[in-house]
């Protein structure tokens, strides 16, 4: 029985595992484990470098401008052509869906003379909105890096062309009505916008008033902050002086005792004077101690005043900062509102000018080309230099881990089978 327990390998008579047996097994089969791991890495490297085709990604980014002012502009145009249908409004979400429309993909295939069908091409394209912003990214994956960039740029151009054509079709049907009917409504809207702008400029707390007050309060804040720094420096100096006074009080005796000879005088106790055995012992207050004590009291009182001044200054600074924040917010809001009203007036004047001039259908489409104003190219696609797939280093690393795990499992399985036969 003892001989069986001393055998090399696992002890199958118990549920315990001896770590020394595991280490012996790993050392025994170390070359096999290393060989299998290296073979797996070699196979993965050969497949990654020689059998897997590299895949490149090219991307182009567009911005969908949907600011509050532009939304109002679209609404005004809808008001002018309310009987002629709504103009299309492009949002990042709608652009993501429309970019992969069959018509746009077919146009891309025809323009680049591709051998793909539109479904195959759609599988190569990925569209996404970037982090809840107005940016839309078009990503194309292809084995040819130049072709990937060409497809991305062409899809973007086809999308912009599609949106322009859509606007032109709707605007061409509404041109006659805009020329003959909506001018009066636009003139009334222009008058209203001018009245609102004047009212905004004549309000009691105008932008000029708020700017002046804000500048004054910033100066006051700077003065108070400077005073606070000086008071804190003075407070630190007083604290150091008080600390020094306390040290001096601890070192200086409160009273001074003097002893003098007085022969023939009867021993007699007197306040602060003691006459004993012909000696006069007197105890007097130490003037140096009194001086230090008075200095300590003065500095303590000055420190209390300084700290009260600091607290008052901090409270005033806090109040001024709050007032400045509120005033800045009000100033910004007034500036934004005035800018919005001014832009509204300018836009209305431009619309009236367009309506009065009765420009041709093409010029009207260009003046009201929403796609040209609401969709801009941030960055065109460029030919990628490095593939995104396969990730050769990652593949080799995964193969190394899997090979190592398989090798360890295999050697323990062999040891298990051998020990099983020995026990039988």
pTM listed for this prediction = 0.43
- Residue 88 counted as domain residue: no
The CATH number for 221's domain is 1.10.287.370
Residue 11 confidence (pLDDT): 45
Q: Give which of 325, 320, 316, 331 is closest to 212, Cα–Cα.
A: 331
For residue range 1-40, list pLDDT tens digits in order.
444 444 444 444 444 557 887 888 888 888 888 888 898 8
- Residue 33 counted as domain residue: yes
* Sequence-ordered list of residues with C-beta below 8 angstroms from that of 9, at least 6 positions apart, any chain: 21, 24, 25, 415, 418, 419, 422
Residue 17 confidence (pLDDT): 58
If asked whether residues 211 and 312 sit together in one domain, one would say: yes
Among residues 301, 319, 337, which one ends one of the domains? 319
Residue 405 confidence (pLDDT): 92
- Residue 287 counted as domain residue: yes
**Eight-class DSSP state of 62:** E
- Residue 305 counted as domain residue: yes
Residue 90 confidence (pLDDT): 73
- Residue 306 counted as domain residue: yes
Q: DSSP 3-state assignment of 376?
A: strand
Distance of CA 371 to the CA centre of its chain: 30
- Residue 243 counted as domain residue: yes
Residue 85 confidence (pLDDT): 46
Contact call for residues 400 and 40 (beta carbons, < 8 A): yes
Among residues 319, 353, 369, which one ends one of the domains? 319
Among residues 319, 351, 368, which one ends one of the domains? 319
If asked whether residues 312 and 211 sit together in one domain, one would say: yes
What are the DSSP calls for 294-307, one per residue? HHHHHHHHHHHHHH
* Number of domains composing the chain: 2
**Eight-class DSSP state of 60:** E
* Sequence-ordered list of residues with C-beta below 8 angstroms from that of 368, at least 6 positions apart, any chain: 77, 87, 167, 171
If asked whether residues 312 and 404 sit together in one domain, one would say: no
Residue 334 confidence (pLDDT): 82
Give me 364's structure tokens. 């009207």
Axis crossing angle, helix 392-423 with helix 19-28, rounded to the nearest 10: 110
Q: Give which of 371, 374, 376 is closest to 166, Cα–Cα.
A: 371
Residue 372 confidence (pLDDT): 55
Contact call for residues 224 and 348 (beta carbons, < 8 A): no
pLDDT along the chain (424 residues), means of 10: 43 57 83 88 82 82 63 46 54 84 89 87 88 87 88 89 74 65 75 83 73 88 90 90 87 75 51 57 77 88 90 90 86 84 83 62 49 72 81 82 89 81 61
Q: DSSP 3-state assignment of 138?
A: strand
Contact call for residues 380 and 153 (beta carbons, < 8 A): yes
Question: H/E/C letters for each residue in 242-288?
Answer: HHHHHHHHHHCCCEEEEEEECCCCCCEEECCEEEECCEEEEEEECHH
Q: Which domain holds residue 34?
A: 2-52+390-423
Contact call for residues 48 and 392 (beta carbons, < 8 A): yes
- Residue 169 counted as domain residue: no
- Residue 141 counted as domain residue: no
């Amino acid at each position: 029985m003892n001989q069986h327990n001393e055998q090399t390998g696992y002890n199958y008579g118990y549920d315990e595992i001896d770590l020394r047996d595991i280490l012996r097994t790993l050392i025994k089969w170390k070359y096999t484990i290393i060989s299998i791991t290296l073979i797996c890495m070699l196979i993965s490297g050969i497949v990654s470098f020689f059998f897997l085709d590299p895949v490149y990604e090219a991307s182009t980014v567009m911005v969908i401008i949907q600011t509050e002012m532009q939304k109002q502009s679209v609404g005004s145009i809808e008001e002018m052509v309310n009987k002629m249908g709504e103009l299309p409004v492009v949002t990042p979400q709608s652009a993501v869906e429309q970019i992969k429309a069959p018509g746009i993909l077919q146009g891309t295939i025809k323009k680049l003379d591709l051998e793909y069908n539109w479904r195959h091409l759609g599988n190569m394209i990925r569209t996404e909105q970037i982090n809840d912003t107005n940016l839309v990214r078009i990503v194309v994956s292809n084995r040819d890096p130049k072709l990937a960039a060409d497809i991305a740029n062409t899809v973007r151009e086809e999308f912009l062309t599609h949106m322009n054509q859509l606007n032109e079709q709707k605007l061409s049907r509404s041109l006659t009505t805009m020329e003959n009917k909506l001018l009066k409504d636009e003139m009334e809207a222009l008058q209203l916008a001018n009245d609102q702008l004047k009212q905004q400029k004549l309000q009691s707390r105008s932008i000029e008033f708020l700017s002046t007050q804000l500048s004054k309060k910033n100066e006051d804040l700077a003065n108070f902050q400077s005073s606070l720094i000086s008071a804190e420096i003075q407070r630190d100096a007083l604290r150091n002086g008080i600390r020094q006074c306390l040290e001096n009080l601890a070192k200086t005796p409160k009273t001074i005792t003097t002893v003098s000879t007085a022969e023939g005088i009867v021993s007699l106790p007197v306040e602060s004077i003691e006459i004993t055995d012909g000696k006069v012992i007197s105890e007097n207050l130490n003037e140096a101690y009194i001086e230090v004590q008075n200095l300590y009291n003065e500095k303590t009182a000055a420190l209390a005043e300084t700290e009260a001044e600091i607290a008052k200054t901090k409270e005033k600074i806090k109040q001024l900062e709050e007032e400045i924040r509120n005033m800045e917010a009000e100033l910004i809001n007034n500036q934004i509102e005035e800018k919005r009203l001014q832009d509204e007036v300018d836009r209305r004047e431009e619309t009236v000018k367009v309506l009065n001039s009765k420009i041709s259908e093409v010029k009207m489409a260009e003046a009201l080309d929403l796609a040209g104003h609401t969709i801009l190219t941030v960055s065109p696609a460029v030919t990628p230099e490095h593939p995104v797939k396969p990730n050769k280093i990652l593949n080799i690393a995964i193969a190394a881990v899997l090979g190592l795990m398989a090798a360890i499992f295999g050697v323990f399985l062999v040891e298990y089978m051998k020990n099983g036969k020995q026990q039988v």
